[in-house]
Chain A
Amino acid sequence: MTIYVREAHPLDEWQMKSNEKGQDDVCYAQPKTLEQRVAIANDFTKRFKYNVPFGIDEMNNAANDAYAAWPERLYVIDEQGRVSYKGGNGPFKYDPREVRAWLAGHFGEVKHPEVAPSPAPDGAPAPAGYPGKKS
């Protein structure tokens, strides 16, 4: 499951060159309302045709705070609801391959192919009514 938390590199904070149009084209202001978070999350899932179960953190950042998740982090929760794997803080210690190896070690070979990061498709639509989107 993917959980969307506060933005890491929004326009009004630490925006990076790679966020700009012509590269990743992900220029958003830090959401101030839940509606803005929902709009960005929908933009993400539509652009990448992302069909993994998805949840959005509330504006009180409860999930983020409970899991020390920002900017990105991976966990595995076991059948009893306990933390079985805790990944490091992204981006430097965010390691999906480590999770893959962990899963293979516990549950056998992972059958899904490894997916390399790919750029967003051209002409991806902006979320409707999102004021922070720069076009």
Chain B
Amino acid sequence: MSPILKWGLTGVGVVGIGIVVGLCFLAGSPKDAIGMVRYALPHMHRGNLKVGSEAPDATLVGLDGQTRFHLRERSRGKPLVLAFGSFT
């Protein structure tokens, strides 16, 4: 094996190990690192909205499970803070 190839493979290996260790550190454990890569990263997006963009409308459902309303109905004429999230 040529020295260049050997060093190249070593470099790739070191970077790979660094990424795995970094993910484990960020997520908390190897299991969480797998969870983050498998379930979180595909759903996390920066999005295209910018300050100044028109706020998109969306239909939302009320806590009764039946009532539907437009987000836009709640944002016209007064400032509105939107907090997106889930329970878990």
Q: Determine whether the beta carbon of A81 is less than 8 Å from that of B76.
A: yes
Q: Determine whether the beta carbon of B88 is less than 8 Å from that of A81.
A: no
* Contacts A14-B39, A57-B60; A70 near B44 (Cβ below 8 A): yes
Bound-complex Cα distance A26 to B80 (A): 28
| Contact residues of A: prevailing secondary structure | mixed
Number of A-B contacts (CB under 8 A): 182
Stretch of B8-16, B17-25, B30-38 on the interface side? B30-38
Q: Determine whether the beta carbon of A4 is less than 8 Å from that of B86.
A: yes
Contacts of B69 in A (CB 8 A): 55
Which residue of A52, A67, A72 contacts B49 across the interface (Cβ within 8 Å)? A67
| Residues on B facing A (Cβ under 8 Å) | 28, 32, 35-36, 38-40, 43-65, 69, 71-72, 74-88
